[in-house]
């Protein structure tokens, strides 16, 4: 009886920690998005030039058309994906595509060029992205990676192959280039490892072995321990340097706050690099590690959803439902 009680207490603690990490991934991504948005397309180092002393406050500053704490399309699409996964009891691609289309039609403040093309080209969900890729030959932006916090939490309860495959299917809704899906698959797997209580970086070699052979070399390069965002061969709006920069930010820092500072400081597509970093760092360190001064002002408007605006408590609730 005594042993059983002890086991139950351990299980309860583990479940609580898993819930903390799941909420950390979803809230962390939104925080990164809102933190990085005012610095989008700026030079490297702009964030720490403006906020040189970590922890001194005011970092959720707004600007560039964004209110302080306002999340962008990265988080808006992550929430749409998460709500579809919860309400449909799993991946229903036609339902999610329709939600994305309603959102795109309601004129969000920002939307990726490629995502907008695919959601408005009039083709059905199972042809729109593939056709876009066939015509343009370019579809490896970070637009499917940026919205993966919620799906990563939802599929973390499954095994490696299942969560990576779900990532590929979710990515393919808007990104016809399989290379984009491989990046989302790696992110899903790292979040799965973190929610299980492990070090996401320790899961990298196995994740890489599960990447499609034709994408493996390029991901191995940007995910290698010695890689630095300076070594990117393309703008970080592309999926490879975006994921590489997020993993680099996690690897080279020791806290949620420092990881996010490093992410925004990479410059360029700062909201998305920081959203992906926030997914990883939130899953690694848990909700409690995210500064309250960053979560308090957070707000996620959802164009096309009846004027709803989500706050941090709503995101925590969504994460709990996704974690199951």
Nearer to Mg ion, 72 or 277 (CB): 72
CB of 321 to Mg ion, least distance (A): 24
| Closest residue by Cα to residue 239 from 189, 167, 180 | 180
Contact 100/117 with Cβ under 8 angstroms?
no
Helix (H) / strand (E) element for 191: namely: helix 178-195
Nearer to Mg ion, 143 or 200 (CB): 143
- Map the footprint of Mg ion across residues 60-89, applying CB under 5 A: 72-74
Nearer to Mg ion, 73 or 165 (CB): 73
C-alpha span between 86 and 68 (Å, rounded): 29
Nearer to Mg ion, 204 or 242 (CB): 242
CB of 242 to Mg ion, least distance (A): 12
Q: In Å, how far from its chain's centre is CA 215?
A: 20
Q: Is 299 helix (H, G, I), strand (E, B) or coil?
A: strand
Among 267, 270, 271, 318, binds Mg ion (CB under 5 A): 271
Contact 298/280 with Cβ under 8 angstroms?
no
CB of 114 to Mg ion, least distance (A): 13
Convert 284-318 to b/e letters by CB count within 10 Å (16 or more is b): bbbbebbbeebbebbbbbbbbbeeeebebeebbeb
At residue 70, φ and ψ (nearest 5 deg) are: -80, 125
Q: Please enumerate in sequence order all residues whose Cβ is within 8 A of that of 248, keeping only pairs 6 or more positions apart, or say none.
A: 227, 228, 229, 262
- Map the footprint of Mg ion across residues 140-199, applying CB under 5 A: none
CB of 313 to Mg ion, least distance (A): 22
String of contacts with Mg ion for each residue 213-252, x by CB under 5 A:
----------------------------------------
Nearer to Mg ion, 9 or 113 (CB): 113
Q: Considering CB under 5 A, how many residues would be counted as binding Mg ion?
A: 4
CB of 199 to Mg ion, least distance (A): 28
- Closest residue to Mg ion in the complex (CB): 72
CB of 59 to Mg ion, least distance (A): 17
Site residues (vs Mg ion, CB under 5 A): 72-74, 271
């Amino acid at each position: 009886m005594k042993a059983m009680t002890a086991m139950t207490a351990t299980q309860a603690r583990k479940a609580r920690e898993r819930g903390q990490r799941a909420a950390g991934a979803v809230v962390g991504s939104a925080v990164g998005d809102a933190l990085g948005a005012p610095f989008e397309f700026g030079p490297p180092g702009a964030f720490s030039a403006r906020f040189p002393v970590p922890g001194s406050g005011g970092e959720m500053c707004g600007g560039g058309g964004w209110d302080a704490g306002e999340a962008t399309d990265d988080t808006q699409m992550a929430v749409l994906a998460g709500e579809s996964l919860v309400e449909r009891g799993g991946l229903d691609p036609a339902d999610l595509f329709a939600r994305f289309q309603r959102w795109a039609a309601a004129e969000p403040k920002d939307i990726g060029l490629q995502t907008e093309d695919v959601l408005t080209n009039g083709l059905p969900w199972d042809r729109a992205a593939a056709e876009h890729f066939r015509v343009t030959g370019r579809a490896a932006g970070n637009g499917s990676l940026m919205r993966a916090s919620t799906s990563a939490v939802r599929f973390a309860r499954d095994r490696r192959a299942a969560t990576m495959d779900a990532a590929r299917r979710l990515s393919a809704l808007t990104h016809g280039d399989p290379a984009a899906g491989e990046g989302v698959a790696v992110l899903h797997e790292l979040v799965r490892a973190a929610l299980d209580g492990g070090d996401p970086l320790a899961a990298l070699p196995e994740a890489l072995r599960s990447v499609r052979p034709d994408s493996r070399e390029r991901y191995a390069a940007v995910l290698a321990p010695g890689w630095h965002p300076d070594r990117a061969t393309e703008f970080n709006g592309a999926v490879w340097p975006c994921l590489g920069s997020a993993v680099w930010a996690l690897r080279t820092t020791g806290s949620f706050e420092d990881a996010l500072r490093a992410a925004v400081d990479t410059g360029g597509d700062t909201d998305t690099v920081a959203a992906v970093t926030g997914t990883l760092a939130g899953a690694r360190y848990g909700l409690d590690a995210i500064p309250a001064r960053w979560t308090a002002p957070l707000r996620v408007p959802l164009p096309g959803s009846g004027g709803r605006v989500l706050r941090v408590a709503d995101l925590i609730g969504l994460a709990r439902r996704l974690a199951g």
